[in-house]
């Protein structure tokens, strides 16, 4: 028998349906909540990273008296509403044609291109529009969802979510710390997980993420679309320092590695910019606790050289007093590159 793509799809769907691991993590229909049984070593931060939800949401859904969970407990990790919301297709904004309307006028009013209006309204003849006729426009953020739009160094943020200080991370200036809801959840979840493993850790400082609506933020080129965050490193000895130059003596490889690894394991990280010298400290620490070179290769630029474009953890000038993390584009993010 020749293997055709369809066979692969049939085989894969059989695998997904018959594999209990998948079945357990998949709501069957819209009215389902998503449940998960807590495993040894789990904490709410880890679970939040895995399912892409907020810790506070899980606390609410499960009416937890405190943000703690025991292995064996069955948790709601996505409420009915959340499951429904994720399945919903974006709703268009309906513009009703007025006297004198043209595609150009509508394009200016809603800040979308004429080409897009044409694509969304193939049946409408721009030269023969009727008064009252409906024009459909898909405008990011109009449905209230948080969207990263465009490039990190030429983008915007719709319905940005303010990152507030949480145990483990102190926000320097909330007005400059807006990200997509997803990105803020990812940062908070990793901070939570870190505090579970290192309860005595001093807070690191969250510097700039983006402005509420994104766009240019001096002095950065990026930080425009709610996917970039500057955060100070952990200092050895649980000393709280904020941004300051770190070296081999002061850099806490144990906690910094734990934090980075938590994010990298979530699959949501595009880059973490770390000074090359500090990468070496991290790399050597990771090796000392049993990671092989083959495991570390896709993660680190080190030891390939600071100008070689490889790895998630990369050198970029000015990252010896803080690291810069860029998260990958989310499902809702438009024109995201």
Quick one: three-class SS letters along 171-236?
ECCHHHCEECHHHHHHHHHHHHHHHHHCCCCCCEEECCCCCCCECCCCCCCCCCCCCEEEECCCEH
Among 42, 161, 193, 230, which residue sits at the site for Zn ion (rule: CB under 5 A)?
230
Q: Please, what is the minimum distance in Å from the beta carbon of residue 324 to Zn ion?
A: 4
Q: Which stretch binds Zn ion (CB under 5 A): 18-26, 30-38, 115-123, 321-329?
A: 321-329
Is residue 212 within 8 Å of 178, Cβ to Cβ?
A: yes
- d(CA 202, CA 195) in angstroms, rounded, equals 9
Q: Which stretch binds Zn ion (CB under 5 A): 26-34, 50-58, 161-169, 224-232?
A: 224-232
Q: Please, what is the minimum distance in Å from the beta carbon of residue 285 to Zn ion?
A: 23
Cβ proximity to Zn ion: between 46 and 324 the closer is: 324
Which residues 6+ apart lie within 8 Å of 128 measured at CB?
Answer: none
Q: Which stretch binds Zn ion (CB under 5 A): 179-187, 196-204, 280-288, 316-324?
A: 316-324
Cβ proximity to Zn ion: between 230 and 320 the closer is: 230
Q: Please, what is the minimum distance in Å from the beta carbon of residue 257 to Zn ion?
A: 20
Dump the DSSP string for 94-108.
Answer: EEE--TT--HHHHHH
Q: Which stretch binds Zn ion (CB under 5 A): 70-78, 117-125, 227-235, 247-255?
A: 227-235
Cβ proximity to Zn ion: between 118 and 221 the closer is: 221
- d(CA 326, CA 269) in angstroms, rounded, equals 6
Among 235, 315, 324, 334, which residue sits at the site for Zn ion (rule: CB under 5 A)?
324
- Contacts with Zn ion by CB under 5 A lie at 230, 324
């Amino acid at each position: 028998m020749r293997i055709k793509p369809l066979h692969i799809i049939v085989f894969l769907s059989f695998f997904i349906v018959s594999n209990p691991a998948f079945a357990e993590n998949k709501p069957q229909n819209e009215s389902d909540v998503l449940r998960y049984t807590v495993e040894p070593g789990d904490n709410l931060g880890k679970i939040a990273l895995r399912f892409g939800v907020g810790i506070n949401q899980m606390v609410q859904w499960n009416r937890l008296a405190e943000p703690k969970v025991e292995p064996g407990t069955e948790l709601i990790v996505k409420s009915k509403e959340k499951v429904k919301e994720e399945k919903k297709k974006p709703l268009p904004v309906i513009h009703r044609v007025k006297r004198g309307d043209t595609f150009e006028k509508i394009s200016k009013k809603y800040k979308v291109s004429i080409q897009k209006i044409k694509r969304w309204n193939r049946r409408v003849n721009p030269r023969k529009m009727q008064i009252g006729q409906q024009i459909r426009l898909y405008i990011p953020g109009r449905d209230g969802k948080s969207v990263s739009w465009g490039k990190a160094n030429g983008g915007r943020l719709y319905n940005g979510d303010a990152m507030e200080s949480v145990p483990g991370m102190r926000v320097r200036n909330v007005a400059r710390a807006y990200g997509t809801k997803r990105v803020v959840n990812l940062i908070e979840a990793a901070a939570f997980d870190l505090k579970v493993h290192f309860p005595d850790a001093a807070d690191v400082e969250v510097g700039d993420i983006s402005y509420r609506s994104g766009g240019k933020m001096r002095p950065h080129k990026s930080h425009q679309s709610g996917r970039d965050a500057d955060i100070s490193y952990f200092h050895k000895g649980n000393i709280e320092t904020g941004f300051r130059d770190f070296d081999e003596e002061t850099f806490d490889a144990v906690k910094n590695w734990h934090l980075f690894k938590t994010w990298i394991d979530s699959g949501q990280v595009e880059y973490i910019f770390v000074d090359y010298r500090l990468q070496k400290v991290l790399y050597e620490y990771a090796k000392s606790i049993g990671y092989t070179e083959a495991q570390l290769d896709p993660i680190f630029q080190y030891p390939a050289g600071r100008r070689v474009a490889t790895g998630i953890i990369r050198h970029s000038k000015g990252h010896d007093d803080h690291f810069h993390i860029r998260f990958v584009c989310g499902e809702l993010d438009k024109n995201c590159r």
